[in-house]
Amino acid sequence: MIPPRMIPLVLKQVSRHRVRTSLTVLGIAVAMFLFTAVRSVQAGVSEATTATASDTGLVVYRQSRFCPFTSRLPEDYAARMLRIPGVVSAIPVKVLVTNCRASLDVVNFRGVPAEEFARGPGAALRIAAGSLDDWLRRSDAALVGEALASRRGLKPGDRFDANGVVTTVAAVFSSDRTQDRDLAFVHLHFLQRSSAVRKEGVVTQFEVKVDDPSHLESVAAAIDEEFRAAQEPTSTYAEKAFTARAIKDVMELLAFTRWVAAACVAAVLALVLNSLLLSVQDRIRDFGILMTLGFTAPRIGGLVVAEALVQSAAGGILGTAAAAAVLRAGGWTLSNEGIAIAFPSGPGVWLPGFAACLLLGALAGAFPALRASRTAIAETFRAV
């Protein structure tokens, strides 16, 4: 590494060829923008589908049904589920989406029993604006996730009309579960009366909590056995497994993004390497002068690597910051079959990309640095 007093020299060398440096930094920024966007999508899918040892949630769906439009279960199934050993709660949920296919702009309504929801899952929501009490008092009120509110420009008191359902925004909330931030929670009976299929007592699914993560499989099997002979049989999945099943086709498509990420990495490596090779070639005589002044071969090599790090850092900061800003401002989610996958934009997404950019810059600078440091003084002064 070079001492801090040599940093002005590094910056001066980087700025000597402004057009070349600018194009290199811009190219790195574009590559890191794409890399960060891809990482955001992959992180959202991973968060929504990767099971953990503390998961206690089950989703009960209509057997052989996929899209929420086709899954219909009697609301009174909840009472029978609560009698099954290991079941702590069973919340009936009516799901209504504006589009059941894969889309980046879907309004996802969740009709839930208000009081039961407020005591259970709703207690974990962080109200950013408005009031949970207002939502409980008004039957047509909606709790809107911050991503949906940002995308649609909603705030407490606004009227919200989507897919024929007209609600009043009572509160905007945030949640630790990124996929919840794109949902709109409304009263169950209100949504049953407002939806296209007006049928009281019928819901899309049940969200069940068990007393111990180790009981997930046994409770799921017990629920399906309970309703095996019923007119509306069920299929029960762990929550993360249900999400993975619903977005299976999307996950296969997103597998292609790994190649996009690899291409971005290759682009950063090639851009920095090309820029430094040209820079070293242009400055052969400069290196000879530095050697004459007493610069050692490791010090000259360190200067070249430092130049690579400066260009990589500039491009990385520009690209990752732009991607994080666009993702945060857009508030996009990928929705499929009523499952919303949010695109996180926090440090966990852009920081690894920036660190990878610096590492690639150091690797790309290694060969030009070796070439510059091994050039003999006599050869530097014979260079044209």
> 145-174 pLDDT, tens per residue?
888 888 888 999 999 888 788 899 999 999
Pairing of strands 165-174, 141-145: parallel
pTM of the full structure: 0.72
Distance CA 373, CA 384 (A): 18
Q: What percent of the chain has pLDDT over 90?
A: 25
3-state secondary structure of 21: helix
Mean pLDDT for the chain overall: 82
Interior/surface letters 155-172, b for 16+ CB within 10 angstroms, e for the rest: ebeeebebeebebbbbbb
pLDDT at 283: 66
Distance CA 312, CA 65 (A): 50
List helix spans (H) across 187-256.
Answer: 188-194, 216-226, 239-246, 248-254
User: For the chain, what's the residue count?
Assistant: 384
pLDDT category of residue 49 using cuts at 50, 70 and 90: confident
pLDDT at 235: 92
> 285-339 pLDDT, tens per residue?
666 666 676 777 777 777 778 888 888 888 889 988 998 888 877 767 777 666 7
**Amino acid at the residue 82:** L
pLDDT category of residue 60 using cuts at 50, 70 and 90: very high
Minimum mean pLDDT range among 88-102, 172-186, 189-203, 318-332: 189-203
pLDDT at 106: 74
> 328-383 pLDDT, tens per residue?
777 677 776 667 777 777 788 888 888 888 888 888 878 777 776 666 665 555 55
φ/ψ of 346, rounded to 5, equals -80, -175
Distance CA 317, CA 307 (A): 15
